[in-house]
Amino acid sequence: MVQAMDGYAGIDWTQYFQDRPFWNTATNCNHTGNNPNQEQACQMITGQWPDYGQGSMKTYEQLPNVERIAWY
C-alpha cells in the first residue's frame, strides 16, 4: 500500500500506515495448509501445534499496531 501511495499528496505514507490501528477481520479455525481438522487448525494459529511456530494469534498480540482481532 505504501508503494502504491508513494508521492501522493505529499504525505509520509509509511508513517501514516504505521500510526493506524490494525483490525484483523479474517482469522479463523477453518482449514489451512494441508487441510487439518478444526481443532488442529486452532492449535496452529494459537501456537500449540508442534513445528508450526508461535502461531498467528500470538504474533498479532505482539504487534504494536494490532488493535482488534475478529476470530470466527
Is-above-0.95 flag for pTM?
no
Q: Considering the chain, what is the average pLDDT of its residues?
A: 80
Beta strands in the chain (DSSP E): 22-27, 66-71
The pLDDT tens digits for 13-34 are 999 988 889 888 877 665 556 6
Residue 47 has pLDDT above 70, yes or no: yes
> 60: which residues sit within 8 A by CB, 6+ positions away?
24, 27, 66, 69
User: Is residue 64 exposed (0-12), middle (13-18) or buried (19+ Cβ within 10 Å)?
Assistant: exposed
The pLDDT tens digits for 1-16 are 888 988 899 999 999 9
